[in-house]
Copies of this chain bind each other. A is one copy, B any other.
Amino acid sequence: MAKLKPTLAKGTRDFSPIVMEKRNYIFNTIKTVFKKYGYSEIQTPSFENLDTLTGKYGEEGDQLIFKILNSGDYLSKISKDQLSTISSKALTPIISEKALRYDLTVPFARYVVMHQNEITYPFKRYQIQPVWRADRPQRGRYREFYQCDADVVGSDSLLNEAEFIAIYFEVLQKLGLKDFNIKINNRKVLAGIADVLDRSDLLIEMTVAIDKLDKIGVNGVKKELIERGFTDNNVEKLSPILESSGDIDDQLNLLKSFLGESVIGKKGIEEIEEVISYVGVLDSQILEKLQLDITLARGLNYYTGTILEVKTNEVVMGSIGGGGRYDDLTGMFGLAGLTGVGISFGADRIYDVLEELNLFPEDTEEGTKILISNFDSAAERYALPILQRLRAQGIAVEIYPTAAKLKKQMSYAHTKNIPFVILVGEEEMQKGVYTLKDMKSGDQQQFTESELLKYFGEQ
């Protein structure tokens, strides 16, 4: 066996105990809320047949899919002659028939089509699993990362959208975020704007440009619109949209006057109004966080109705969540006309936000609650029964497994953030008690067994 100095594969991460606790805190918070809103968990395999994934993410996306080499003598399917002239791209489908999932959406679509006869609609599912992308790794961008998605398919009710907004609100509040916004827009409003300009042919060009408003400003967008084929006249007419501000009512009034009689535009406004009305009935507090952002687009080709995005204002950070309604999730697998709406949480970004704002609860880092010290064999035997009795109460307790120096044992407790240490020595054994040390305050106190069990209570 070669003794190599091991490294991580590029763009991947180990998660150590404290990081895991924090990640689980985020995932559990999200899961708890998803469940409360009636969403059920599913999981799909890490790899799919290659042809399930290819062609779904565009040319660029296809290149970022990790392909798995066939097992065995994979070159047997190709002649030596062919091999000497073939390109990597042409060889790939011959020597690889499986690939790691690139997102959770396409596998979910595949799942829905394969299980369509056993699914009861509306089907509300959530899925929290890693995905893999052969992206160039950089700060905050990894080749393996988790996606947290919830979708409901088979229901066109806009109440679903309102409930997703409530889910965002509840999760972010639970995580301790205070200043955040949930932005809403509607693809039909964007289509209406292009319609009014009489440039429906340039809808995608338009949204690609105005989606950049945050980054390049109004003048940048105007310049880009010209580059993308719009006339000066178009751009001037668009100005009020690009420069729009104010609360939801102001924005709606602007839109109503701008969109005039555009049928699709009016439909978009109606949908936004209905979602907002539902949100107000569910919980009017949420309205304070809700913003209408006429320039929000998010992967326009995919969404057909509501578009959602979540941003925190407490930290400089891209969106920490987003989603929207689509009308043809499963068409790619031959099941047409299934409407749905979904959202996702950016768990890695949320992690960074909570870390920066110091919002992880103190006990997140606490694994074991009590360490029982180990002086010698007699003290160890004296302590084992209380160890099990505390555990029977649901408390995480460890005994240091050997009679090491006390300093070493205390340092172990300290490094592992263990808040209490039980000390057992000659005196304790004679008196039939246990000394409990509070690691934070340094206080020590003697307890009988029953006092100790009572002190920590049933967990």
User: With A and B bound together, what is the CA distance between A375 and B232 in angstroms?
Assistant: 52
Is B75's CB under 8 angstroms from A91's CB? yes
Closest-CB distance, A381 to chain B (whole angstroms): 6
Is A334's CB under 8 angstroms from B166's CB? no
Residues of chain A having any CB pair with chain B under 8 Å:
1-9, 12-17, 20-21, 24, 35-38, 40-49, 51-52, 55-56, 63-64, 66-69, 71-76, 80-81, 83-89, 91-92, 95-96, 98, 100, 110-111, 113-115, 118, 120, 122, 124-125, 130, 132, 134, 144, 152, 155-157, 159-160, 166, 278, 281-283, 331-334, 367-368, 371, 380-381, 384-385, 387-388, 391, 394-399, 401-402, 411-412, 415-416
User: With A and B bound together, what is the CA distance between A80 and B402 in angstroms?
Assistant: 61
Is A20's CB under 8 angstroms from B41's CB? yes
Closest-CB distance, A24 to chain B (whole angstroms): 7
Return the contact of A124 from the options B166, B278, B398, B411 (Cβ within 8 A).
Answer: B398
Contacts of A394 in B (CB 8 A): 36
Is A36's CB under 8 angstroms from B396's CB? yes
Is B46's CB under 8 angstroms from A111's CB? no
Is A68's CB under 8 angstroms from B71's CB? no
Is A95's CB under 8 angstroms from B69's CB? yes
Contacts of A89 in B (CB 8 A): 73
Contacts of A44 in B (CB 8 A): 14-15
Is B114's CB under 8 angstroms from A14's CB? yes
Contacts of A7 in B (CB 8 A): 49, 52, 114
User: With A and B bound together, what is the CA distance between A67 and B395 in angstroms?
Assistant: 42
Q: Please name the residue on chain B nearest to A2 by beta carbon.
A: B55
Closest-CB distance, A291 to chain B (whole angstroms): 21
Is A88's CB under 8 angstroms from B68's CB? no
User: With A and B bound together, what is the CA distance between A412 and B68 in angstroms?
Assistant: 40
Is A120's CB under 8 angstroms from B157's CB? no
Contacts of A55 in B (CB 8 A): 1-2
Contact A388 to B166, CB < 8 A, known contacts A55-B2, A92-B69, A397-B36: yes
Contacts of A384 in B (CB 8 A): 278, 281-282
Q: Please name the residue on chain B nearest to A90 by beta carbon.
A: B75
Contact A17 to B40, CB < 8 A, known contacts A75-B88, A144-B47, A160-B401: yes
Closest-CB distance, A54 to chain B (whole angstroms): 9
Q: Please name the residue on chain B nearest to A133 by beta carbon.
A: B71
Interface centre among A6, A45, A155 (most CB of B within 10 A): A6
A-B contact pairs, 12 of them (CB 8 A): A2-B51, A3-B332, A8-B48, A8-B49, A24-B41, A69-B92, A74-B88, A76-B88, A120-B411, A156-B402, A281-B384, A282-B385
Is A69's CB under 8 angstroms from B68's CB? yes
Contacts of A91 in B (CB 8 A): 75
User: With A and B bound together, what is the CA distance between A69 and B45 in angstroms?
Assistant: 19
Q: Please name the residue on chain B nearest to A279 by beta carbon.
A: B384
Is B334's CB under 8 angstroms from A380's CB? no
Is A14's CB under 8 angstroms from B111's CB? yes
Is A334's CB under 8 angstroms from B398's CB? no
User: With A and B bound together, what is the CA distance between A79 and B283 in angstroms?
Assistant: 66
Closest-CB distance, A416 to chain B (whole angstroms): 6
Is A3's CB under 8 angstroms from B37's CB? no
Closest-CB distance, A108 to chain B (whole angstroms): 10
Closest CB pairs A-B (n = 9): A38-B398, A12-B45, A17-B40, A157-B401, A71-B134, A3-B334, A84-B84, A120-B415, A15-B43
Contact A37 to B283, CB < 8 A, known contacts A45-B8, A80-B84, A334-B4: no
Contacts of A152 in B (CB 8 A): 401
Contacts of A47 in B (CB 8 A): 9, 12, 66, 132, 144
Q: Please name the residue on chain B nearest to A43 by beta carbon.
A: B15
Closest-CB distance, A409 to chain B (whole angstroms): 11
Is B35's CB under 8 angstroms from A367's CB? yes
Closest-CB distance, A285 to chain B (whole angstroms): 10
Contact A333 to B4, CB < 8 A, known contacts A12-B47, A396-B38: yes
Q: Please name the residue on chain B nearest to A403 by beta carbon.
A: B157
Interface centre among A8, A332, A411 (most CB of B within 10 A): A8
Interface centre among A13, A55, A333 (most CB of B within 10 A): A333
Contacts of A159 in B (CB 8 A): 380, 399, 401-402
